[in-house]
Structure 1
């Protein structure tokens, strides 16, 4: 190439002469040279710059796809929660596809039956609430009523009006509500589809995860991983059962004392109770405030009911239904829920306890033994 060569090429000419000497019929391109020194400042600087660039790119990717990643994680969480039921059917000679179909048909039938029974009552009671709103407003402005004195002391009406006026008018409020509803419906459909796929392909996902672990450590990783999956599954089913009990007992209490909007409040309590630690407290405060519209003694009795129920849930229901599966200390539970709620909101608080249980298991089985041997 570049013939004829001349002495003006300097050191390149010297390298070309040496290249002609090292080229042989057996190795026409010469022998492989020495490996570059990876400790040289150039390579250290390039590796550091590449690491920073890759880390920054990953952070931007996570931030950009944060909502989708949350949906994927929640779908995987729900799929692991449904896996015990699917595996139970599979062990009884159900094909995998039939077991998955059976579980989802039962789940959809239960949710559909619940909505068919609850929606008419919710609509009726929500309509009654809207109808009686002016009456409650007049009571709030009347200083001779208990609600009026409460409003005068805590400025409840002013807080509600300021929150309502913080939007951009009626049109903006309607458009914002419509956008929120559309987003919720879309996210729910995506979550359902992802959960179905995750449940159907969970054996292959599980096998692919374990294939990433070295062969010598794979058996122990399988034992630890399956234990974590069992904890998550037991938590999902147990938390759902506890929430149903909370909603049912609340409905019975409200019907006995004639508190309005009993079905609506009971459903709210059941949904809020899904969030550990703080959910039942928020539900109890909400119901007690509504009970004030009946009378002060009924409101105080409702407060007492939720205090007693909270003790029963913490010391009887949760230990019996969930505690034997997770075995997470109370302090770790509170801290995990607070951190999960601060990072991911309601979803973070919902998944915080099983994540904490998994971290504790890994620490006890992997971290502590290594530290004790160190």
Structure 2
């Protein structure tokens, strides 16, 4: 029993056929060769199956259950990797306004992404070169002097002493510094593991962000091709609106955090509040979490300012209130404009849920996701619900 191949076989892989191939299969082979064309090299798609048949209904239901179970298992097993991918995708959409601006001014897309990356890395390298030594020193000083600062507040303010005694703050602070966190921060193996993990995640996110940004047009096209032809134009309009919201939020939020961190550093330096650089970086990082982050940062800095004097603490609280109003009513409207329109109550709920599910990254991604969901509800769900019953 031999094998043969004829002119209809692929130029790369010969299709083995038995020499005594049955007549029905020979006829099918001939029909397959005639069915192929330049437009449909694998044949014109046939008529779809009847979705209303009992077999297709049961098959679809079973397949749906299996797909959901498989997706859940994959998400749980690859949670950390998926978080890095999602973060990179959001960053790619966030730098898209800058990349698109360079492309409109004559840059090739790959070169535009490289220019944006060089600009960001140069700024980050400059900041680290100028601030990494005092940042580490101030961070260590803040941790080491935390018990002394608390003791100083207890001696100076009876209210703080009674509150510390009631909640056992001295013991909890001492336990926190001498416990696992302190051991990890001082241990060579633990610190090295943390640094290596952080560097690895950073490199992965940076590489994925560059890839997503360079291939964003093709990714966008392939995404929209998943929609049926009749719904594709509508999907393009809604999808591009979502991309604009996410991009405007990510880029605007980073810029606002940079401004608030700089203003905080100037304020703390003027009033001689200890550890101004590390506290300013704390404000910039926490301010990335809308509403809740800046409030938490203000509370921490107010406590540190209380070690200087009560008037400085009160003035610092007033500064953060003004800074918050400035951010909400001046910076955000001018930088983000009307790109991200999320009610305040939805913002708080989204941040709380995102933080509970995915930690800090979930809190950061909660607002653009909430904006996208609100847009889908307004454009798809509400119009259908508002239609009069026939």
Distance in 1 (CA, whole Å) between partners of 2:213 and 2:83 is: 17
Aligned to 1:16: none
Structure 2, unmatched stretches of 5+, are: 1-22, 28-49
Distance 1:77 1:85 in 2: 14
In the alignment, which of 51, 67, 80 is matched to residue 93 of structure 2?
Answer: 80
- Name the stretch that deviates more: 313-322 or 276-285: 313-322
Counterpart of 2:341? Answer: 327
Question: Structure 1-normalised TM-score?
Answer: 0.82
CA positional deviation for 1:208: 0.5
Q: Is the 8 A contact 1:340 1:352 kept in 2?
A: yes
Paired residue for 1:219? 233
For the Cα contact (< 8 Å) 2:292–2:348, is it kept in 1?
Answer: no
Kindly tell me the number of residue pairs found equivalent between the two proteins: 341
CA distance in structure 2 between the partners assigned to 1:55 and 1:225 by the alignment: 24
Matches within 5 A, 1:72-221: 72-129=85-142, 132=145, 135-136=148-149, 139=152, 143=155, 151-164=164-177, 166-167=179-180, 170=183, 174=187, 175-221=189-235
Contact in 1 for aligned 2:135/2:277 (Cα 8 Å): yes
Distance in 1, matches of 2:305 and 2:168, equals: 19
Matched, 1:299 2:313: yes
Which has the larger displacement, 155-164 or 70-79? 155-164
> CA offset at residue 39 of structure 1?
3.0
Q: Report the alpha carbon displacement of residue 189 of structure 1 after superposing the two structures with TM.
A: 1.0
Q: CA deviation at 1:332?
A: 1.8
| CA RMSD, 1 decimal | 2.9
Contact 1:79 1:199 in 2 (8 A): yes
The one-character-per-residue Cα deviations of 1:277-301 (angstroms, maximum 9, x if unpaired) are: 1110111111111112211221122
Report the equivalent of 2:81. Answer: 68
- Do 2:273 and 2:304's aligned partners in 1 also have CA atoms closer than 8 Å? yes
Aligned to 2:32: none
Q: 1:47 to 1:123 in 2, by over 3 A?
A: closer
Q: Are positions 1:39 and 2:54 aligned together?
A: yes
Moved more, 270-279 or 354-363: 354-363
Query: Structure 1 regions of 5+ residues with no counterpart?
Result: 1-24, 30-34
- Structure number, greater radius of gyration: 1
The question of whether the paired residues in 1 share the 8 Å contact of 2:152 and 2:307 is answered with no
* 2:246 aligned residue: 232
* TM-score of the two chains, using structure 2 as the length reference: 0.79
1:250-276 deviation per Cα after TM superposition (whole angstroms, max 9, x unaligned): 111111111011111111101110111
Quick one: structure 1 residues 305 and 225, their matched pair in 2 at CA, closer, same or farther if it must change by over 3 Å? same
